[in-house]
Structure 1
């Protein structure tokens, strides 16, 4: 779904942003891989630095309603004002937003679809560390997966994180023996290649009670296209 009357401003174009959807309450942008959403301890450019270019006439800049890892590309929702942001935050917190990711993984699952039900916890007590691990005493974490294509030592997955834990998809895939390609933290091959092969493909949000859910889709990023092309499509059974 595309906004009817918007085009990226120069600041957006310079960092690779594109606007996928706009209405009175929210924006959905296609966040490029490599751009952090929020400032971190190491500093450097972040999406926050560019939010003023997305005001579109409103007095305040929009704010992210959820997070994507720095190296994950794709759909990111922004609330355009405080009330909108609170409503969006509640939808994400209540698990009412349907999120689908594309990932290229090493090897791949034997079954064409399934579930990964593994609790997750932080690796360290250091509050600055976001690295995670599977842990029976951790927070319940559930991911559904479906194989979209298979290649040589490679699989193209659609991942649906039913819960929204930090690094959930990356840790779950690694724990199953098929880490996401380019994952320098959790063991994916090709760490010196084009980057993490994980993309937030679609979001579906029931933002307006009397309307159908808003569904937004982000095209596959350039750094994943070669791998996706190498995978033969697996038809639905």
Structure 2
């Protein structure tokens, strides 16, 4: 008996992008001649990885807006994190953004729903972070042998068994917020690496806003992304009022 035909997955260069041109363009929060800021969806890697899974870069061709080349990533977000992501539209813009992100000239604000609560209503997490590589993969841990890492936090609300935090990382270490929250005894909800995976739930970490001082003669650019649908229920349990329910 003949074996049934199976469809092979398209190679990355030929498969359709994970978001249509209309979908990715609908996520543009800000655009000028230098940069684009988009609202990254949770659960999608920003660039290609060893698994060959779909990634956000595959969508960037739809974001040229008349330029000869698509934009490129100016920084990174974890695959499971949603929210504000900055792209440079050409090499000169990427160089400028690289200098901003390598220093402390940008201000990033994240929202997280964490299990339990941090030790105080506001404070600073300052554990150095070390990346650990093994045959089975890698992760990050707090270690005196690691690189300095600083995250300022403030409680915005409390709910049953959880807390809504505003977090402002002053350094940009990999998984910094996730490891700092876990080390403080309040891991981010649905964090499968540093907390407890929750079937059917996405990580409750959102890149809420960014401030970019791109010009010396103009005010800094501030861009904000609304929280994603998967975080709304927990946020409301902690006191968040969505914009369309504020009246």
Contact 2:25–2:63 (8 Å) recurs in 1 = no
> Which residue is 1:66 aligned to?
75
- In 2, distance between residues paired with 1:109 and 1:156? 10
TM-score with structure 1 setting the length:
0.89
- In 2, distance between residues paired with 1:63 and 1:44? 18
Contact 1:12–1:18 (8 Å) recurs in 2 = no
Residue 40 (str. 1) matches residue 55 (str. 2) = no
What does residue range 10-159 of structure 1 map to in structure 2 within 5 Å? Answer: 11-14=20-23, 18-124=27-133, 129-159=137-167
- In 2, distance between residues paired with 1:16 and 1:57? 14
The count of corresponding residues between Structure 1 and Structure 2 is 222
Of 204, 210, 214, which residue of structure 2 is paired with 1:203? Answer: 210
- In 2, distance between residues paired with 1:170 and 1:53? 32
Contact 2:119–2:184 (8 Å) recurs in 1 = no
Contact 2:25–2:62 (8 Å) recurs in 1 = no
Shift of 1:44: 1.3
- In 1, distance between residues paired with 2:56 and 2:101? 20
Residue 167 (str. 1) matches residue 175 (str. 2) = yes
- In 2, distance between residues paired with 1:193 and 1:172? 24
TM-score with structure 2 setting the length:
0.86
Shift of 1:232: 3.1
Shift of 1:15: 6.1
* Structure 2 segments unaligned to the other structure (5+ residues): 1-18, 241-247
Please list every run of at least 4 consecutive aligned residues from structure 1 whose deviation after the TM superposition is greater than 2 angstroms: 12-17
Distance 1:140 1:231, change over 3 A: same
Distance 1:222 1:12, change over 3 A: farther
Provide, for residues 58-105 of structure 1, a one-character-per-residue CA deviation record: whole Å limited to 9, x for no partner.
Answer: 000000100000000000000000000110011000121100000000
Contact 2:159–2:239 (8 Å) recurs in 1 = yes
Larger radius of gyration: 2
